[in-house]
Structure formats: structure tokens, C-alpha cells
A = this chain, B = another copy of it.
Amino acid sequence: MKLNILGCYSATPRTFTNPTSQVLEINNHLFMIDCGEGTQVQLRKHKIKFNRIKHIFISHLHGDHFFGLVGLISTFRLLGREADLHIHAPKGLKEVITLQMKLANSWTNYNLYFHELNSKSSELIFEDDKVEVHTIPLDHRVYTNGFLFKEKAGDRKLDLNAVLNNNIDVAYYRKLKQGFDVINEDGHLIKNETVTLPPNKAKSYAFCSDTAYNEAIIPIIDKVDVLYHESTFLDQHLKLAKPTKHSTAKQAASIAKQANVGQLILGHYSTRYEDLNLFKIEAQTVFDNVLLGDDGKVFEF
């Protein structure tokens, strides 16, 4: 998995800071998460192929998370896109986008599908043979979801030497990868675990922004490899975090600790702070494995 942070600052786009957008590369998918103003320029700067993005997940309808979407949809059209595009977003977004296409008399020449969300429980919103995406209901000022991306457990891997030594017909290899015992050319039963190795570990990534401190998400994100959790404020501004339904770095770390996640990436910083390291220092008082998200950073895991 590879996570491209295109923007991770709250509120308004500025000369050197961008509102929220990420592209997660997972099992050959490029999933975009949120799309603040300027995201299409960030995609160009970071040389991410527009056409490989087939699914866009929008957490909520505050401008810093979706004002770049209508322009991206329009640019896809101008670039001659043919591939389908799926938008998973809170109810209301379809109306906003289609109204603007109607006024411009500019409809897409590719298929554009809106999957509008309104459930308050976690739900499976995308699945293929390798990946699942679930919503993570968050607690913000408007209806908001985080997203949990989970690889499915892959096939077992052949231990090629062992397979050859055991004289197994090639036609059984698929069954071996699926975990079955097989009969070899000599008529003997070969136990699966003697000729295969465990699959690569299925990885998982949870995106949680924007949200107040919310323990209800802990069971959903339990033991994810990587958690991106917003930390708009430092603890010194807890009084601002509460009414705006945002989190502090310390709260993000507390969620990470309780959910036993592998790594925590912080982001959605208020631009009032000059030194991002303060976020890391604060979070590490609670949870060790903290990374600072920043525009243009790429995390591989």
C-alpha cells in the first residue's frame, strides 16, 4: 500500500498548504479520498495518473474536503476520459455536481456514478476480490464518514522446492494456493502446510477526518496497520476542538492506542501552528509510532 498525501491542512487553501486530499494505492486501485480545492493541480505536481482513479470517497460536505471535485470531474472530461468514475459521498453531492454541469451545459462523456451515503452505521461500500472499503461513521458538525480500506487475505504461496520434491502435478497448484491438501503423482496425500507458505499479510488503512474524539470508532479500526486521524488542534486549544468537533493530537493518539493500530499519521492541522513537530511530540506522550502527514509526503507500508 502506498499513501500519497496531496493536502492535509484544514480550512482554506494557501500558497504552500493544501486542503484535504489523499490517493491510496492498494492492490492496483488508486482510491482518492477527499478532494479540496486545488487537488487536480496537486495530482499533476505529484505525477499521479488521472485515469487510474476510478473511485473517489468524500468524507463530508465541508468545502475543504470537496470544492476541488467539480473541477476534477470537468478536467477528466476535457482530457477525454472514457473510464467510469464512482463517487462515494454524503447525500447532496450529486445535486451540487449535476446542477453545475447543467448550468455549464457540459456533461461528462464518461459514466459518472454517484453512490450517496446516509447510513449512521459502518457499511461495506466497495468490494472486489482483493479489497473491501467500509465507512467509519464520525462525529462532526455535518454528516461525516471516515473510510476503512482492507486488503482481503491473499492466497497461500507455493514453496516451490517443496512442491517439486513432492512430485505434485502443476494442475493442483491453484488448489494448493487456496489451502487445500492434494494427492501427488505417486498417490500420496500431501498436507498443504508442508508445501506452501502463509499469504502476505493483508494490510489495512483507516482515514478518519474530520471528527471529534470518538471512541465509537475503536472497534471498527481495531488493529489497522495505519490510521490517519485528524489532529486539527494541540491540547492547549482543546476548548476550540470541542465546539468545532475536531480532535487534538493527544486525542488522536489516544484513539490509536486504544485501537492497537500499527502506525498513526496525523493531519488536518490548523494553520495557526508554525511548528508541526509539536503535534508529533504531543501525540507521542500517548502513542509511540506517530508520523506527521504533510502535503506531498508518500508513505509506503
Using a CB–CB cutoff of 8 Å, the interface residues on chain A facing chain B are 11-15, 37-38, 40-41, 44-45, 61-63, 67-68, 70-71, 74-75, 78-79, 90, 92-93, 95-96, 99-100, 103-106, 141-142
Q: Which residues of B contact A100 (CB under 8 A)?
A: 61, 63, 96
Smallest CB-CB separation from A61: which chain B residue?
B103
Q: Which residues of B contact A71 (CB under 8 A)?
A: 12-13, 37, 63, 67
Bound-state CA distance A48–B182 (Å) is 74
Q: Top 7 nearest A-B pairs by Cβ distance?
A: A12-B75, A61-B103, A92-B103, A37-B71, A63-B74, A67-B71, A62-B104
Chain multiplicity (copies): 2
Does the CB pair B63–A44 fall under 8 Å?
Answer: no
Q: A37-B40, A63-B104, A99-B99 are in contact. List 13 more A-B contacts (CB 8 A).
A: A11-B78, A13-B41, A15-B45, A37-B38, A37-B68, A61-B103, A63-B70, A63-B106, A92-B99, A93-B103, A96-B100, A96-B103, A104-B142
Does the CB pair B44–A14 fall under 8 Å?
Answer: yes
Bound-state CA distance A277–B79 (Å) is 25
Residue among A38, A96, A104 facing the most chain B CB atoms (10 A cut-off): A104
The 8 listed contacts between A and B (C-beta, < 8 Å) are A12-B71, A12-B78, A15-B45, A62-B104, A63-B71, A67-B74, A103-B142, A104-B142
Bound-state CA distance A2–B71 (Å) is 29
Does the CB pair B62–A106 fall under 8 Å?
Answer: yes
How far in angstroms is the closest Cβ of chain B from A159? 48
How far in angstroms is the closest Cβ of chain B from A66? 9
A12 touches which one: B14, B74, B103 (CB < 8 A)? B74
Bound-state CA distance A40–B141 (Å) is 25
Q: Which residues of B contact A12 (CB under 8 A)?
A: 40, 71, 74-75, 78-79
Q: Which residues of B contact A45 (CB under 8 A)?
A: 15
Bound-state CA distance A68–B142 (Å) is 22
Q: Which residues of B contact A105 (CB under 8 A)?
A: 141-142
Q: Which residues of B contact A96 (CB under 8 A)?
A: 96, 99-100, 103
Does the CB pair A14–B37 fall under 8 Å?
Answer: no
How far in angstroms is the closest Cβ of chain B from A37? 5
Smallest CB-CB separation from A39: which chain B residue?
B37
Residue among A15, A41, A93, A141 facing the most chain B CB atoms (10 A cut-off): A41
Smallest CB-CB separation from A41: which chain B residue?
B13
A61 touches which one: B13, B79, B104 (CB < 8 A)? B104
How far in angstroms is the closest Cβ of chain B from A250? 25
A40 touches which one: B13, B40, B41, B92 (CB < 8 A)? B13
